[in-house]
Structure 1
C-alpha cells in the first residue's frame, strides 16, 4: 500500500516537519519542498552561517522546542526526498511545478499536504515604503538568519503578539530598541486574563516580554494611531497620535505589522473551497478538524490554514499526516488523534482571547489619505481605489484588480490584498467578506524568466 502513496509536503516548518515524521514512521517516503535553505520555518528559522549564538540566544524560551524540531527533521532526512531553496509556483493535474535556482521540474504526487505558513499583514500609512521600514517577520529574519539588526535605533510598530516577541528578541540580542508602539489600547490587554486559564505559560511569557522591555528602558505605548514615518533617503523618525496629542521619536528603522495573514495561493490553485474567517479577518481554505480540505487528497496544516501559532502548527501537521494515513486505509493510533484534536480546540479558544487583546484597527481604512501608496509593486494609491468605487461602481476585488492593477505586481497581492480589501470595503460601505478575495494565479511568486519547463516528473 505505502509504495503507491507518494505524498508531497510543501513547507518544512513545524507543521510540515511533523507531518513528514508521521508519514516516515509509517513507512512512507514523502517529498518535502521548502523555500528556505534549512528546516524550521519562520518561527524556528536557522542561521545561514553558524556563529557563536546558542539555541537559547536564538529562540529564548522556545529553544527546547526549536532544537527538538530541528533534530527530528535531521533524523528523518534520509527517509524523505528533501528539496530546500525550492519554490512550488503552480499546482495542476496532481503535480507541482517547482523551481530551484534556474531549473524547474514537475513533481507528481498522490496526496498533498500544504504547510505554507503565513506572512505579515501590513496596512500602509505615509512613509511605509521608505528604506529602513521592515515587516516584523523581516526584522526577525535579519536577526535569526544573519545575526544583524535592521537599524541602530529601532522602533517596532503595529499590533499582535509578534510585536512584543520581536522587540524582546532584539533587546536580548543587544540591539537598541527605542519604543514599542501598539495600536491596541491598554484596556484590551485585560482580555489576556481570560487566557490565563487556557494557556497560562503563553500569557505569562507575554507579560514577561513586556515587563523586560520596560525594565530595559524601552518606551511601550498603547492605543497609538500611526501618522507617518519621516525621512528622505531612509527612515529618520516615526510620528503618531496618542490620546489626542502628536508625538515623534527619532529612529533609523521601523519594524511594522498587524499580526499575520495565511499563505493560501497554493490551496486556491489546488481547487480548495474557501470560507471567510471573521477572527482572522481573511479568507482561508475550508478544512475539517483533521486538516482535510474540500479537495480529496489535499490537506492543510499550520498557519496556512488559519493563524494559530507554532504549537498548533506542530499538532495540526501531525493530525494532517494521520488523516492522510486514514484516508489511504492505513492503521493509525486513534487515542493520539483524540489528544491532538483536544489540544487544537484549546488553542483555538485561546486565539479568540488573543484577537480580543490585539484587535484589528478597523478605523484605519477610513482615515488613510488618498495619496498613500497601497500597492507598491504597481504604484497604486489609496485614492485610486476610492476613485474606482466612486466613478466606476467597483465593489468586488478582482474587478478592482482589472481596472487599477492592484495585486498584479511581483507579490501577486500577497502584501497589498489585506489593505486593498479594507479600503475597498470601506469605500463601498460593505463588509470585508462581501468584496471577495483575489483569485490566485501562477506563478504565485516571481520566477526567473529564463526558466524553461522541462516537464520532468520526480
Structure 2
C-alpha cells in the first residue's frame, strides 16, 4: 500500500513488538488500534500482575525490571493516542478484516484494516515424554504465567526439564519466589554451551545474565544436570516424580510438578490465514512467514514483528516492532527517519548472530523422534500416539503433515496443532526418512484458538 489512508493501522499483540510499534505510529500522528488477548499490555515476557497484587517489578522481572517498567510506562502514556482493545482474541483473519472475540462479553466483532502489524509472539516448543498428560505437568511458559499473573507456584516440589535459556530463567524465578526447585534437567551438554560462547559473547550483557542464573541456582544448592535424556513423568493420578537417563544410568527424582519445554516456537497461524508466504528456517527448525529487513511480509499492507516471525528475544522484538511501524508509515506516504530505520536493522542483524549461538548452546534433541515410544501421546486433544502416526505412514503412505492430519486427526483438536505440531512433524520426518523441511507444516485454520460453541454455530453473532 502506498499513499494516504484514513483507516487506522491495526496492531495485533501488545508485547514488546506491539508496544513499540504503537509508540512509533502515535509519534507520527496516527491512532492505531491495538488488539491484545491480555487484560494489560506487556506480553508474556513482561506480563503484568493483576492490579490488586502488590509485588515489586524487581520481584517479577529480575534483571529485566527496568525494561519492563519502561515498556509499561510507554504504553500507559499512549492511553489517549491508541485504541487499545484488551481481553480480545483475534481468532480469524482474511483479506481486509479480522474476527475478534472480546472475552468478558463473549461477543465477537469484525475489525477492518488496510495496514496490519502482526506481533503475535511465541509459545513453548513441546516435545512430549510419557506421562506428560498427568495433572501437574506444565510448559515453562505456563509455569511462568502461574507465577507472574496468578501469584502461585505449579507445585510444592518442582522439576524443570528441557532446554533453552527459559529453562534456567523460570527455575530461578521459582526459587527466588520461595518455591522448592528439586532439579533442573537440561538435554544440552556443558560442552555445547562452551562451544557456543564465542557467538554468544556478541551480546555480553545477555550472556552474563544467563551465567548469573546458572550460578545463582548452583550457589543455592539446586541440582543442575546437563546432557540428560528425559524418559518419563512418574505417577498414576498426578505427578509423583520424573525419570531420566544421565548418559550412564537411569535416575529418578520425586516431585509433585514438572515444568518443561525445548525453547520457543513462533505463533504463525494469523500470518498463515492472512496469506503470507512461508519458507523453512533451518536455525529455527520451522517454517516461518517471510519478511524483509523492515518487517514487510509477502502480503502488501501486512507487517511482521517480534518472535511471531522468528525467535530473537524481547529486546529484538522492541526494535522489530519499531522498524515495522516505520515501514508502515513510509508505505503510507509519511516521512520517517532513515537513519533510525538503518540503526534498527543493524541491531537486529547483530542479534541474529547471537541467536545462532543460542541454538548451538541449547541444541534441539534431534534423536527425540527415534526414541519416542509408540504409546507416547503426541496429540493430547485427539489422543493420537506416536505409534498411530507411524502406522498411518506405513499403511496410508502419508508423507506430508496435512495429509497425516486428515488421516489420523493429529492437530485437529482445541490447540489446532500449536502444542503437537512440532512433535508430529518430527515423528513424520523420521518415519518417512525425509528432511524435516519436506514434510511441510500444519496449515492455519480458523478459529486459531478455542472460541465459545455458540459463536461458531451462530453466524449472525459474528458482528456486534
TM-score in terms of structure 2 length: 0.97
Does residue 114 of structure 2 align to residue 110 of structure 1?
yes
Aligned to 2:136: 132
- Map residues 119-198 of structure 1 onto 2, 5 A cutoff: 119-198=123-202
After the TM superposition, which residues 333-348 of structure 1 pair with which residues of structure 2 at under 5 Å, given as runs? 333-348=337-352
- Unpaired segments of 5 or more residues in structure 1? none
Which of 39, 42, 48 pairs up with 2:41? 39
Partner of 2:223: 219
Equivalence map 1:13-92=2 (5 Å): 13-92=15-94
Go from structure 1 to structure 2 and tell me whether the alpha carbon gap of 1:368 and 1:24 turns closer, same or farther (over 3 Å shift). Answer: same
> What is the rounded CA distance, in whole Å, between the counterparts of 1:294 and 1:70 in structure 2?
31
How many residues matched? 458
Distance 1:357 1:246 in 2: 24
Aligned to 2:413: 409
Q: CA deviation at 1:195?
A: 3.6
Give distance in 1, aligned partners of 2:174 and 2:52: 19
Shift of residue 4 of structure 1? 1.4
Residue 381 of structure 1, aligned match among 379, 382, 385: 385
1:210 and 2:214 aligned: yes
The alignment partner of 2:77 has SS state of helix
Structure 2 segments unaligned to the other structure (5+ residues): none
Q: 2:330 aligns with which of 326, 351, 360?
A: 326
Cα distance in 2, alignment partners of residues 308 and 326 from structure 1: 24
Contact 1:105–1:453 under 8 Å retained in 2: no
TM-aligned CA deviation for residue 454 of structure 1: 5.3
Residues 158 and 258, structure 2, Cα contact 8 Å, conserved in 1: yes
Distance of aligned partners of 1:453 and 1:22 in 2 relative to their CA distance in 1, 3 Å threshold:
farther
Provide, for residues 3-35 of structure 1, a one-character-per-residue CA deviation record: whole Å limited to 9, x for no partner.
614211000000000001111111111111011
CA contact (8 A) 2:393 2:399 kept: yes
Cα gap change, 1:90 to 1:196, in 2 (>3 Å): closer
Do 2:200 and 2:358's aligned partners in 1 also have CA atoms closer than 8 Å? Answer: no
User: With structure 1 as the length reference, what TM-score do the two structures score?
Assistant: 0.98
Instruction: Give the Cα separation in 2 of the matches to 1:2 and 1:197.
Output: 44
Q: Residue deviations 1:230-275, cap 9 Å, x none?
A: 0111100000001220111100000000000100001001000001
Aligned partner of 1:97 in structure 2 is: 99
Task: Provide closer, same or farther for how the CA distance between residues 185 and 306 of structure 1 changes in structure 2, counting only shifts above 3 A.
Answer: same
Which residue number corresponds to residue 434 of structure 2? 430
Distance 1:258 1:456 in 2: 37
Partner of 1:264: 268
